[in-house]
């Protein structure tokens, strides 16, 4: 993935609300057409290798867990936390180890409870890393969401 792809992905993950193509293009300092191309490229990769996609609703874009995986997430999470948990799972599904402190900065204090629930359900592994923890997907997570490249 090139820098624009990674920056777009980070931008959508960091924002809690869907974003217009204009805001995305402005953030990346590219044209709207180029931003749409990047979204298409990312979705092609996501369909092949991940459990999420970039979806456009009312002309605004957001990263979501795609079907049938979103149904599985809904079954394991309380309804009021579903969106936050989905975003957290998407971040962890990237295949990189993720520091809990970084996720808390992005998603707020509720992250601690969400992480606790995901660890209890065996979906993520949590390992002490200095003053924080490193989070990564478990084998159960990989099997449940059909993610091989994590």
- Among candidate residues 55, 71, 38, 85, the one with its CA nearest the CA of residue 146: 71
Give domain limits for the chain.
3-65, 69-145
Instruction: Confirm whether 3-65 and 69-145 share one CATH topology.
Output: yes
- Among candidate residues 50, 15, 19, the one with its CA nearest the CA of residue 35: 19
Residues 81/88, Cβ–Cβ less than 8 Å = no
pLDDT in tens, 46-75: 888 787 889 999 999 988 877 776 666 666
Alpha helices by DSSP H, the chain: 3-14, 21-28, 32-49, 69-76, 82-93, 100-107, 110-120, 139-145
Question: 65 CB contacts (<8 Å, ≥6 apart)?
Answer: 51, 52, 73, 86, 89, 90, 145
First-residue to last-residue Cα distance in the chain:
15
What tokens appear for 118 in the block?
Answer: 């995901």
Determine the Cα–Cα distance for residues 81 and 86; give it in Å rounded to an integer.
8
For 3-65, give the CATH class. mainly alpha
Q: What pLDDT sits at residue 81?
A: 46
pLDDT in tens, 108-147: 788 888 888 888 888 888 999 889 898 888 887 777 666 6
Q: What is the mean pLDDT of residues 83-88?
A: 68
Q: What is the CATH number of domain 69-145?
A: 1.10.10.10
Q: Which residue has the higher pLDDT, 6 or 148?
A: 6
């Amino acid at each position: 993935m090139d820098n624009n792809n990674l920056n777009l992905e980070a931008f959508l993950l960091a924002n809690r609300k869907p974003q217009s193509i204009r805001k995305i293009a402005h953030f990346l300092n590219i044209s709207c057409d180029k931003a749409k191309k990047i979204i298409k490229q990312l979705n092609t990769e996501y369909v092949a290798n991940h459990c999420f996609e970039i979806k456009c609703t009312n002309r605004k874009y957001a990263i979501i867990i795609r079907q049938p995986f979103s149904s599985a997430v809904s079954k394991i999470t309380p309804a009021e936390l579903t969106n936050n948990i989905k975003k957290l799972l998407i971040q962890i599904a990237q295949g990189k180890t993720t520091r809990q402190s970084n996720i808390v900065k992005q998603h707020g204090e509720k992250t601690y409870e969400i992480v606790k629930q995901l660890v209890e359900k065996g979906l993520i592994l949590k390992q002490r890393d200095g003053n924080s923890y490193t989070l990564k997907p478990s084998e159960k997570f990989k099997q449940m969401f059909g993610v091989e490249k994590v």
